[in-house]
Amino acid sequence: MAELNTGDGGGKKGSKKVRSKKLNSKVDLTAMVDLAFLLITFFMLTTSLSKPQSMDLSLPDKDEDPTKNKDVKVDENRTMTLLLGDNNQLKMYMGMLNNPLVAPKDIAYGKAGLRAEILKRKKTVQEYTGDAKKGLIVIIKPSKKSNYKNLVDVLDEMAIDDVGTYAITDILPEEVKLLEGAAPATPQ
Amino acid sequence: MAKVKMAKKATSIDMTAMCDVAFLLLTFFILTATAKQPEPLPVDTPNSTNQTKLPDSDLATITIGQKGKVFFGVTGRDLRMSTLEMMAQKYNVTFSQEDKEKFALIENFGVPIENLKQIIDMKAADRNKENVQPGIPKDSLNNQLADWVQYSRRAAIDNHNVELTIAIKGDAKEEYPEIKKVMDILQNQKVNSFNLVTGLRGEDF
């Protein structure tokens, strides 16, 4: 490839004049261009991909004055409560804890467990209310032992399944008991 | 019939211009790329499918990792300097102009303000070693984190006239109560909307 052939290719034959050999000044730049483009690609991709992603989280206003703190009443038929325990344990129930519409049960994170459950509940709630604006309400209750990953996973699931209304609230003592009581029965 | 002689064309193309362009672009990308700073508190963020990116400026990051250690960082040198000035005034700690300028270059730190001077005097390599920085106090008796957040927000309003975006960068293994404490600190200041820093979920979730 390298064009270092001397410049007498087109010279007249038979010319007896002794010429100093002209060296071709062209250098093959192909390899250099290859390298440059490789580096460009690398820098282009790393600059845009290294930026961390973020998830927006809006929490309800917290009032310092306890008298003003009104508990929001929601329809028990529309609420689904998720209890986050340790070792990636996850429990759900519908309605109120004392009188649940669907008794508390263990579900798994991910596609087969949580997502299927949410989509199923979403459908039934939609049929119950008959109003597109009144969908499923998910209440997320992380226990003291749950980790941050579990919370982000559940929040992400809310975004994937397009659950419009969800809240993170403190776990109740009865619910902690429920999580702990069932823990030995479910091998992880 | 006369033979038509095909003109022999050179197979090599002049690459000079292409090379020039390639290197110009390369230089541009190298210069605009922000070098990744070593972090004093490395955390492994949980993944999500969310694609929203964090803003580049007017951002405060609260890093939580290693059993509740909290680190704080603000983008922008001017914001860092004015935040430090306000903090110094509140806690009666004096910093020289040189200290302030050095502090403006520190991206992320996690020490009580009383020990901040020592960290400023350290070399960057020593500063980022493990267990050098114990985290910012955030309990109810000595809630310096709340003050850092508050003053940085004020600095953002004073300097740039915008509300500071606050991001929480938590380790995936961190227990929820530690995250809750930080969220409570933010909520006490009526910051009800913030960002959770996550990585990109690669696998099929």
- The interface pTM score, or ipTM, of the predicted complex is 0.76
**B138 forms bridges with which residues in the sheet?**
B143
What is the number of structural domains in chain A? 1
Cβ pair A36, B29 in contact under 8 A: no
- The answer to whether position A49 is within a domain reads no
Q: What is the DSSP letter of B2?
A: P
pLDDT in the model for residue A68: 54
Q: How far is CA A24 from CA A4, A7, A21, A27, in A?
A: 6, 7, 9, 8
- The answer to whether position A129 is within a domain reads yes
pLDDT in the model for residue A183: 46
- The answer to whether position A54 is within a domain reads no
pLDDT in tens, A36-75: 999 988 888 877 666 677 888 888 776 655 555 556 677 7
Cβ pair A182, A106 in contact under 8 A: yes
> Are the beta carbons of A148 and B177 separated by less than 8 Å?
no
> Are the beta carbons of B173 and A61 separated by less than 8 Å?
no
Chain A positions in Cβ-Cβ contact with residue B51 (cut-off 8 Å): 53
Closest residue in A to B23 (Cα–Cα): A36
> Are the beta carbons of A52 and B32 separated by less than 8 Å?
no
Nearest-neighbour CA in chain A from B33: distance (Å):
6
Chain B positions in Cβ-Cβ contact with residue A63 (cut-off 8 Å): none
A119: domain CATH number is 3.30.420
Which residues, in sequence order, are CB contacts of B117 under 8 Å at separation 6+? B93, B95, B99
Residue A24 φ then ψ, to 5°:
-70, 130
pLDDT in tens, B82-115: 999 999 988 888 888 998 888 888 888 888 988 8
Domain range spanning residue A125?
A: 76-182
Chain B positions in Cβ-Cβ contact with residue A39 (cut-off 8 Å): 26
- The answer to whether position A84 is within a domain reads yes
Closest residue in A to B175 (Cα–Cα): A147
Nearest-neighbour CA in chain A from B112: distance (Å):
25
Put simply, whether the predicted model's pTM sits higher than 0.80 gets the answer no
- As to burial, measured by CB atoms within 10 angstroms (0-12 exposed, 13-18 middle, 19+ buried), residue A15 is exposed
Chain B positions in Cβ-Cβ contact with residue A56 (cut-off 8 Å): 52, 193-195
Could you give the CA distance from residue B167 to residue A153 in angstroms, rounded to a whole number? 17
pLDDT in the model for residue B71: 92
pLDDT in the model for residue B53: 81
Those of residues 20-49 in B touching chain A at CB distance below 8 A are 22-23, 25-26, 29-30, 32-34, 36, 45-49
> Are the beta carbons of B176 and A29 separated by less than 8 Å?
no
Crossing angle (nearest 10°) for helices A116-129 and A148-161? 50
Cβ pair B196, A168 in contact under 8 A: no
- As to burial, measured by CB atoms within 10 angstroms (0-12 exposed, 13-18 middle, 19+ buried), residue B133 is buried
- The answer to whether position A85 is within a domain reads yes
- The answer to whether position A166 is within a domain reads yes
Q: How far is CA B149 from CA A176, B81, B135, in A?
A: 32, 14, 14
pLDDT in the model for residue B205: 63
> Are the beta carbons of A43 and B167 separated by less than 8 Å?
no
Q: How far is CA B81 from CA B95, B126, B166, in A?
A: 11, 22, 18
Cβ pair B21, B34 in contact under 8 A: no
- The answer to whether position A60 is within a domain reads no
Nearest-neighbour CA in chain A from B122: distance (Å):
28
H or E stretch at A185: none
Q: Which residues of chain B have pLDDT under 50?
A: none
Nearest-neighbour CA in chain A from B9: distance (Å):
13
Pairing state between β A53-58 and B59-65: unpaired
Nearest to A88 by CA among A107, A115, A112, A111: A107
Could you give the CA distance from residue A108 to residue A118 in angstroms, rounded to a whole number? 12
HSE value, Cβ hemisphere, 13 Å, CA-based, for B83? 30
- The answer to whether position A38 is within a domain reads no
Q: Consecutive 10-residue runs of chain A (188 residues): their mean pLDDT?
A: 50 60 78 90 76 79 60 76 86 82 84 86 84 82 87 87 84 84 49
Nearest-neighbour CA in chain B from A68: distance (Å):
15
